[in-house]
Structure 1
């Protein structure tokens, strides 16, 4: 997100970035995936906010934040008949959530080293962006960028494409 906004927002406003160190998030997320056991899954998940940008634009205060974590949805929910309509495929093993007023999420397979073979299918990665008053296009670009960087940081084994355009 910092790459999209830099020092100045779209309308020339100044933004302040905050968030925990990326290494801390990566360490915790990898530990959760490695400790996960499908038979004993209690569906409790931690989500982390790697970056929050806050500032003022010409029309008032603005906040944009991202979150990452292991989803309670599974990849099978999205491919089987009667699956949740909340998710729509945008590429193989990548699903986008229905756009809400401020939030947008991606669900994707992400098997990390040292986990059970089925971890990526039953414990996929979910990445979200919440933006108060940004355009849907900017929110989606931020979401795609956060998804790609999170996958790289975690070392996801699958070769998949997170498209720039999440509307098609």
Structure 2
């Protein structure tokens, strides 16, 4: 009986240890995944910019979500551009990064989100009255919309993709947006321009667009 009892105790102790280790392992994996998501957000938006935004919000612990790296996301966008036709008006929108910062009292919080898609707008449409009212020309290759009706800002950037159909660059520009819960305009602008440079840089091409740090209001 004594031997059986000792054996049972030993098995129970081993089982409990395994459960504890498993719990620690899961917790470690979750922390590593969260850390990787924040790192990807920093790759898209700039580490300094992300820190500045989090410092200005200054509430609960941030929760970042970023499933793809800039390289992975650029690859998906490139494949979509190569399959594009002029009749195609449906384009997937990709969330590059989302950062949720819960309020310390648990009521609400702040959200920062960066998204990108191939736009249904074109460079030619920027001269149409309904778009010219809100979109501003930054230079020959970049247009900005600062009045979207909510706390956000959008960039339209023509970007040619190797192997894409003729006319893709002007007929299918990139549309990138940063939306938030009420950041300063300067912060939003820094996030957006850094995001745009990160993505257009990954879509390697000879005519890299010039995206300035300061955008016209």
TM range (shorter): 0.7 to 0.9
Shift of 1:116: 2.0
Q: Is the 8 A contact 1:11 1:58 kept in 2?
A: no
Alignment partner, residue 74 of structure 1: 122
Unaligned runs of 5+ in 2: 1-44
Shift of 1:139: 0.6
Q: C-alpha separation between the residues in 2 aligned to 1:10 and 1:2?
A: 15
Q: Which has the larger radius of gyration?
A: 2
Classify the secondary structure of the residue corresponding to 1:114: coil
Unaligned runs of 5+ in 1: none
TM-score norm. by structure 1 comes to: 0.86
Shift of 1:70: 0.3
Alignment partner, residue 99 of structure 1: 147
Paired residue for 2:199, among 142, 150, 153? 150
Paired residue for 1:48, among 76, 94, 98? 94
Residue-pair matches, total: 165
Q: Which has the higher strand share?
A: 1
Per-residue deviation, residues 69-128 of structure 1 (Å, max 9, x unmatched):
1000001112x4646223110122100013233111000110011112321100000000
C-alpha spacing 1:11/1:28, structure 2 compared with 1 (3 Å): closer
Pairwise CA RMSD of aligned residues? Answer: 2.2
Shift of 1:58: 7.3
Classify the secondary structure of the residue corresponding to 2:131: coil
Q: C-alpha separation between the residues in 1 aligned to 2:68 and 2:91?
A: 20
C-alpha spacing 1:98/1:157, structure 2 compared with 1 (3 Å): same
Classify the secondary structure of the residue corresponding to 2:193: helix
Q: Which has the higher helix share?
A: 2
Paired residue for 1:61, among 109, 114, 128? 109
TM-score norm. by structure 2 comes to: 0.68
Q: C-alpha separation between the residues in 1 aligned to 2:208 and 2:156?
A: 15
Classify the secondary structure of the residue corresponding to 2:159: coil
Q: C-alpha separation between the residues in 2 aligned to 1:81 and 1:26?
A: 29
